[in-house]
Structure 1
Amino acid sequence: MAKVLQILSSRHPKGRSLYKVVCRGEEWVGLVLWTGAIWHFKARDLHLGWDPLIRSERLQLIVHQARFLVPEMAREPNLASACLAASSRDLPAQWEEYFGYRPLLAESFTDPESHAGTCYKASGWEALGFSGRDGRHYAERLPEPLGPKKLWIKILHPQAKALLCSNPLSEAYRAGLAAHVAERSALKAPQLSSLFEAFQKVPDPRSRCARAFPIGAVLT
């Protein structure tokens, strides 16, 4: 594993992570780092039909390919797509072995300024859209933003999209649900207001001489 870390030059990210080595005989031909999914990505969430609460509950069922590298000495035509296909094919079982559940979807970013993402397309990944201007992800500790990244997704189960939106979620995948989701609100901060503020807007039926205290204070 020290060799993997040295080649990838990557610090250990937060949360779950899985390092994989794709081998051809004794030769290392691909290095992959899988981590937890990005918290919010509009194109992905719309594609899946997720609202904020569903995303909070089921995000762990998506894994993020944070790093992918074919060592320079091993590079040859079609090898990158073959490594991606092999890594994705074995991912659900290997993730379950370490973390107790099978993910349903994989995601990754490519930099359109340096890579067309051809190997992702060739190995069955689907392009969804572009990240925000900075293209940040918690697994990448970068000092400066590097511009928008292209998001790719790969289904890991034939019914992945349906399962990720199903209500209730299939028993086989409930081990991947996040805890305490019911405590979170689907509303954004600007949409939240206090009960007192709401009561202040209630029409006051009292006569003027009976309004010693504001209606909001009385109702509260």
Structure 2
Amino acid sequence: MTNIDPKEIYVYAATSDKFAETAKAYMGPWYECLALKAPDYDLAQIVLYKKEFWLGAFLWRRAQCQSYPRDRFLGWHACQQAERLPLVIECLGFQPMHHSPDQPNYGCIALNAALLSLQPDWVDYFGYVPLLVDTHLKASSGFASYFKEAGWTRTTDKNPRAAASHWAKELVPDARAIITAKHLDKAYTGVASPYVDGLLPIQDELLSSFQAAFKEVHDPRENNSHYPLHTLWSCASGRMFRPPRSISY
């Protein structure tokens, strides 16, 4: 195939219990290479051309654990992470159709097509809109060029000798601002954890009540103390109840 008509590209998506049979029919032994990368995934996609040839296949999962590159890229704190992690979708596996230099970059074409279809596919299966996708690549994977050409952002050190790289892409405009906002937009709260909200467990309005209560406590120090005791106690309490990056006095 030397030319790819975008109108002839089709993306088939399914959960793990239904994806294998279809993928094997198109990919043959390449499916086993993909399945070995991540046996535990939420949704899979295979990108087809004219419903006859496969261009690439992907395994996706809701982000489930902390990622230092992701946390640094987003700049969110621990409470936001606990509440909003399901809004991040991680690409666990990617298998592109290999191409020769005189052929189109099938992997990049497949990656772009998969992302265009990922949001509606995710809504169909799980009922909510994800905000961000990311992936962690080993230095030996050789797939970084696909993500770079598809417009993903490399958030980690660009040193080619780095052990791994982290790539991210927003699925909606201003996704980073939305996911790190002090209070999550109501359009996305349905999937968020019900156990945390905003900057819990202590809200900004409670800090003033802490200070008011501490002011009533007698200060046993001598008159030459430099900092008011109620201010010190308020700072200490805030540090105990909030992650360090969320405190600002």
TM-score bucket of the superposed structures, by smaller chain: 0.5 to 0.7
Q: What amino acid maps onto 1:31 in structure 2?
A: A
Alignment pair present for 1:178 and 2:205? no
How big is the shift at 1:113? Answer: 2.6
1:155-210 residue CA offsets vs partner (Å, 9 max, x unmatched): 1011101110123211211122123236xx99xxxxxxxxxxxxxxxxxx9xxxxx
Give the aligned length.
168
Structure 2, unmatched stretches of 5+, are 1-18, 202-219, 221-249
| Identical pairs, percent | 29
Q: Corresponding residue for 1:52? A: 78
Structure with more relative contact order (C-alpha pairs < 8 Å, separation 6 or more): 1
1:44–1:99 Cα change, 3 Å? same
Q: Corresponding residue for 2:150? A: 123
- Whether contact under 8 Å (1:70, 1:80) holds in the other structure is yes
- Structure-1 separation of matches of 2:100 and 2:60: 21
Classify the secondary structure of the residue corresponding to 1:175. Answer: coil
Instruction: Say what the alpha-carbon RMSD is for the aligned residues.
Output: 2.8
TM-score, normalising length: structure 1: 0.67
Alignment pair present for 1:152 and 2:193? no
How big is the shift at 1:88? Answer: 1.1
Structure 1, unmatched stretches of 5+, are 131-146, 187-204, 206-220
1:12–1:110 Cα change, 3 Å? closer
Structure 1 residue runs of 4 or more that deviate by more than 6 Å after TM superposition: none
1:10-54 residue CA offsets vs partner (Å, 9 max, x unmatched): 4641xx611101010121211111112151122321221211110
Q: Corresponding residue for 1:79? A: 106
2:91 to 65, 68, 77: 65
- Whether contact under 8 Å (2:98, 2:107) holds in the other structure is no
1:28–1:105 Cα change, 3 Å? same
- Whether contact under 8 Å (1:107, 1:151) holds in the other structure is yes
1:101–1:92 Cα change, 3 Å? same
Classify the secondary structure of the residue corresponding to 2:60. Answer: strand
- Structure-2 separation of matches of 1:81 and 1:125: 11
- Structure-1 separation of matches of 2:104 and 2:144: 14
1:43-73 residue CA offsets vs partner (Å, 9 max, x unmatched): 3212212111100000000000001112448
TM-score, normalising length: structure 2: 0.60
1:18–1:116 Cα change, 3 Å? closer
1:58–1:91 Cα change, 3 Å? same
